[in-house]
Amino acid sequence: MDLNSFRRRSSPSNSTDQRLLDFEPPPSKRFWFSSMKLTRILAACLVPLPLLITLSLIFRHQPFDQIIGFADARVLVAEPQLNISTSVNAGSVDDHFKAADLLEDKLLGGLLADGFDAASCLSRYQSCLYRKTSPHKPSPYLLSKLRNYEDLHRRCGPYTLSFNKTLEQLKSSHSIGSTDCKYVVWISFSGLGNRILTLASAFLYALLTNRVLLVDPGKDMADLFCEPFPDKSWLLPQDFPITPKFKDFNQDSPHCFGKMLKNNIINTSTELVPSYLYLHLAHDYGDHDKLFFCDENQAFLAKVPWLIMKTNNYFVPSLFLIQSFEHELGRLFPEKGTVFHHLGRYLFHPSNHVWGLITRYYQAYLAKADERLGIQIRVFDSDVGPYKHVIDQILACILNEKLLPKVNMQESVVSLSEKPKLKAVLMTSLNSGYYEIMRNMYWEHPTVSGDFVGFYQPSHEEYQQTEKGLHNRKAWAEMYLLSLTDVLVTSSWSTFGYVAQGLGGLRPWILYKPENRTAPDPPCQRAMSMEPCFHAPPFYDCKAKKGIDTGLVVPHVKHCEDMSWGLKVVDGHDEL
């Protein structure tokens, strides 16, 4: 068997022992190989799996490991509670990475609760095999808050006594006394990137207000994501009495908070509290809907048992402008620009189906690379392209910022450097034309540095198909794959890119939105922080009762690079 055939047959699921049996060693190593092969066979007959893994690590042979790529692998030692034992190549990893460090990092610095059934959600504890350890550590207070929330969710989640008791209030037009549990219900709405960002926003609001988050499953939420909380589901029960009304909720709905304020049906001094309120926080919300972000109205909303929320906005930046939340947010996020980075990794674990898409693609195309560059392309024109001005802009950005080496248009072959690098470029776009142009350019011409560059695009769906399950599974897989790159280039206004940068803890290079089909100059800018942009924030001073520039109120909430009227959370050092 030749070496290329062996590599094609190898996969993350193959054990080290099977690789040894499949591989034909050179004559100089046959005596060593025969001894090792006999040792493996005896060990398989006499010892249990954990000890077998230990022996395989002890008897590793360094030159052979380098041939099959094992030297760069992170090894996850089997644990009874995980019920997994995996050897996975995670690309360029410190050779001295220790198994003990990996096991500690499986909980993402304490973000994740231990004790889940690993087989039900492989991504929860395997993500650390594919992602570098984040330099951004969650605060002890955030970890404590998450554990307290999980206890609250156990006590108040679907079909608990407290849930059933509070549910009875929906049969009444008004709240009946105090309740042990209060809820915020998130309505599945808009595209997948928007849904991920808004769900993180709703969860942060639940943390700040001591509410339980329940998720409208829509058509595919259960197929895309694992359950993030222990013991109790975050999915809204199918028999929830208000669910049939979700599709009709809008600014004119009788229970719409903004409409009730506008018509003076409720105010801060209202004694009768409704059993539920609908919060319309989508991009088309009106001035009265935006009063949700005023302290005085938060005091009233705290009395309402059920808040039903529909939004396609990442509204976290405006939560930082609510004075009553300011101290708590400071304790939760001392690094203010890490909100989605921490909450996104806590909440969003790809389902096993999606995790298979991610890991197979990563192992096949990205794992062996020395460097990985992600390029996310979203074009908002009605035609899908490809457009020359877009490819010109992408090339100008990656070459000006030295994200890829230039190609030599004059020579057919350029001398290799002493240590040529393999650079893998993951491109995501609805159109395959941009990928084909870039791939051909680096295939037909050598790089001036002697490095090798490979281009890969998992799918090209041509147009967004929000209602199709497989389309969304591919989209979620591609967002996640982008988050596993070392450097990221994203498109303006795209929530797809926001999700990838936040999960990966990356400050991307953002491609400016072209005007009049002309490549902008400069073509891109480095993001101030990895936080997403709030595209439709309110511009209102609740105390002064007048309009203001909310991007100038506090130093850690500024206007976005890609949308001048949007808001994003930053840290002082993020701008450097």
HEC letters along 251-290: CCCCCEHHHHHHCCCCCCCCCCCECEEEEECCCCCCCCHH
331 and 366 part of one domain? no
Residues 234 and 363 placed together within one structural domain of the fold: no
**535 in any annotated domain:** no
Name the phi and psi angles at 120, rounded to 5: -75, -20
Asked, for residue 100, whether it belongs to a domain, the answer is yes
Of the residues 129, 162, 190, the one at which a domain ends: 129
Which residue matches tokens 């605060």? 139
Radius of gyration of the chain (CA): 26
Q: Report how many domains make up the chain.
A: 3
575 located within any domain: no
For 212-226, what is each residue's pLDDT tens digit? Answer: 999 999 999 999 999
pLDDT in tens, 456-468: 999 876 555 666 6
> Are 104 and 222 in a shared domain?
no
Same domain, 104 and 168: no
| Ramachandran region, residue 98 (left: φ > 0; alpha: ψ -120 to 50; beta: rest) | beta
- pLDDT tens per residue, the chain (576 residues)? 333 433 333 333 333 333 333 333 333 333 333 444 444 443 444 444 444 444 343 333 333 233 223 223 333 333 333 333 333 344 444 443 445 565 568 999 999 999 899 999 999 999 999 999 999 999 999 999 999 999 999 999 999 999 999 998 887 766 666 788 999 999 999 999 999 999 999 999 999 999 999 999 999 999 999 999 999 999 999 999 999 999 999 999 999 999 999 999 998 777 788 999 999 999 999 999 999 999 999 999 999 999 999 999 999 999 999 999 999 999 999 999 999 999 999 999 999 999 999 999 999 999 999 999 999 999 887 676 789 999 999 999 999 999 999 999 888 887 777 789 999 999 999 899 999 999 999 999 999 999 999 999 998 765 556 666 788 999 999 999 999 999 999 999 999 999 999 999 999 999 999 998 999 999 999 999 999 999 999 999 999 999 999 999 999 999 999 999 999 999 865 443
The token pair at 184 is 């915020």
Instruction: State whether 198 and 298 are in the same domain.
Output: yes
- The last residue of one of the domains, among 347, 372, 397, is 347
- Residues 285/258, Cβ–Cβ less than 8 Å: yes
| The two three-digit tokens of residue 237, written as one number | 């029960």
Sign of CA dihedral 77, 79, 85, 88: negative
Cβ neighbors of 152 (< 8 A, separation 6 or more) are 181, 210, 212
Tokens 């048992």, residue located? 305
Whether 247 and 385 share a structural domain: no
- Residues 254, 336, single domain; the answer is yes
Same domain assignment for residues 485 and 401: yes
**Domain coverage including residue 94:** 3-129
Distances, alpha carbon 158 to alpha carbons 197, 455, 569, in Å? 23, 46, 33
66: exposed, middle or buried (Cβ count in 10 Å: 0-12, 13-18, 19+): exposed
Token readout for 175 is 């709240």
In a domain, 11, yes or no: yes
Neighbours of 423 (CB within 10 A): 23
For residues 340 and 238, state if they share a domain.
yes
Residues sharing a CB contact under 8 Å with residue 258, sequence separation 6 or more, in sequence order: 251, 280, 285, 286, 287, 288, 289, 290, 291, 292
